[in-house]
Amino acid sequence: MNGAVVFNLSPVSFIPVAVFMVSAVRMALCGLCKKRFGWDWMNEYTLPISMLGSMAAARPIKQKICRPIGLLEPMGLHTERGGTSKTFLLVFR
């Protein structure tokens, strides 16, 4: 590579960004609910609500991004030997 910087700009690399945006929107909605309805208890649950919501949204986001480019059909479990340990790779089309 000779010191070159490689950027991977495939659609798959935008999955964490999309999940982060879902989390930020959920956190903003919790803040608005606290402010509008006076729910002081919402301070304690804003982070868990946003984390669980974004984790639940990660799967549909991945399917929405990966399905059009054909990355969701598993081809099988392959092994590769590197050094003294085995590394298992799930290969996708």
* Residue pLDDT, tens place only, 21-48: 999 999 999 999 999 999 999 999 999 9
DSSP 22-71: HHHHHHHHHHHHHHHH--TTHHHHHHHHHHHHHHHHHHHHHHHHHGGGT-
**Residue 74's beta-bridge partner residues?**
92
Q: Which two tokens mark 7?
A: 């950027």
How much is the pTM?
0.63
CA distance 20 to 41: 24
Residue pair 66/72 in contact (Cβ under 8 Å)? The answer is yes
**Residue 78's beta-bridge partner residues?**
89
- Name the nearest CA neighbour of 18 among 64, 61, 51, 66: 61
State percent of the chain over pLDDT 90: 40
Instruction: Please report, for the chain, the start and end positions of each structural domain, with discontinuous segments joined by +.
Output: 11-92
pLDDT at 15: 86
